[in-house]
Chains A and B, each alone.
Chain A
Amino acid sequence: MKIKHQLAVFNLLTRLLIIVILWFSLPMLIQKVVYTHIDKSILEKKQKFFAHLDNVEISDFITRKDSTETYASFSTLHSEFLQLYRAQKPAPKYKDVFVNERRIIEEEENDYRVLYYNFTYAGNDYVLEIGNSLGEINDLTFTIRFFTTTLLFIIVLITFLADTFFIEYLLKPFYKIINRKIRHVNEPNGFDYTAIKTHSADFHELDSVLNQMMFRINDLFQKEKQFIGNVSHELLTPISLLKNRFENLLQNESINDEGIDKIVSSLRTLDLLKKVINNLLLVSKIDNNQFVNNEQISISGIVSEILEDFEDRIEEKQISIINEVGDFTFTGNQTLIRIMLHNLILNAIKYNVEKGTITLSTNLSPERFILSISDTGIGMTETQQSKIFERFTRINIEQDGQGLGLAIVDSIAKFHHIDIKVISKIDAGTTFTVLFPLDIK
Chain B
Amino acid sequence: MNVLIVEDYRELAAELADYLSKNGYLCKAVTTCDDALEEIAVNDYDAMLLDLGLPDGSGFDVLKAVRKSKSKIAVIVITARGELDDKINGLELGADDYLTKPFALTELGARLFAVIRRIHGFTANELNIHGFKIQLQDYKVSFEDTPIALTKKEFDIFQYLSLNKNRVITRLQLTEHVWGDVLEINSDSNFIDVHVRNLRKKLAAFSKLDWFETVRNVGYRINI
Contacts and interface: CB of A to CB of B under 8 A. Distances in A.
Interface stretch (B76-84, B142-150, B204-212): B76-84
B92 to A, nearest CB: 15
A405 B18 contact: no
B121 interface: no
B177 to A, nearest CB: 13
B156 interface: no
A355 to B, nearest CB: 18
Interface in B154-180: 167-168, 170, 172-173, 179
Given A313-B191, A346-B184, A401-B185, A250 B84 contact: no
Contact of B19 (A237, A247, A313): A247
B93 interface: no
Interface of A: 229, 232-233, 235-237, 239-245, 247-248, 250-251, 257, 260-261, 264, 267-268, 270-272, 274-276, 278-279, 282, 285, 290-292, 309, 312-313, 316, 335, 339, 342-343, 346, 400-402, 404-405, 408
A238 B106 CA distance: 18
Contacts of B102: 236, 239-240, 242-244, 270, 274
Contacts of B16: 244
11 contacts: A229-B83, A232-B81, A233-B81, A239-B101, A243-B102, A245-B15, A260-B215, A279-B185, A312-B191, A312-B195, A401-B185
B129 interface: no
B206 to A, nearest CB: 25
B124 interface: no
Contacts of B105: 244, 247-248
Contact of B217 (A229, A260, A292): A260
B218 interface: yes
A232 B185 contact: no
Contact of A401 (B9, B186, B215): B186
B167 A251 contact: yes
Interface of A is mostly: helix
Contact of B83 (A290, A400, A405): A290
B84 A275 contact: no
A248 B217 CA distance: 17
A241 B80 contact: no
Contact of B9 (A237, A290, A339): A237
B104 A261 contact: no
A354 to B, nearest CB: 16
A245 B170 CA distance: 14
Interface size range on B against A: 35 or more
Contact of A250 (B9, B12, B18, B170): B170
Contacts of A233: 53, 79-81
Given A236-B102, A250-B168, A264-B170, A276 B216 contact: no
Contacts of A244: 12, 15-16, 19, 102, 105
A275 B181 CA distance: 9
A251 B172 contact: no
The 4 closest A-B pairs by CB, nearest first: A240-B102, A236-B80, A240-B101, A312-B191
A402 B195 CA distance: 27
Contact of A240 (B80, B170, B172, B179): B80
B42 interface: no
B194 interface: yes
Contact of A229 (B19, B81, B172, B188): B81
B183 interface: yes
A272 B185 contact: yes
Given A260-B218, A276-B185, A316-B191, A247 B53 contact: no
Contact of A248 (B18, B80, B83): B18
A272 B194 contact: no
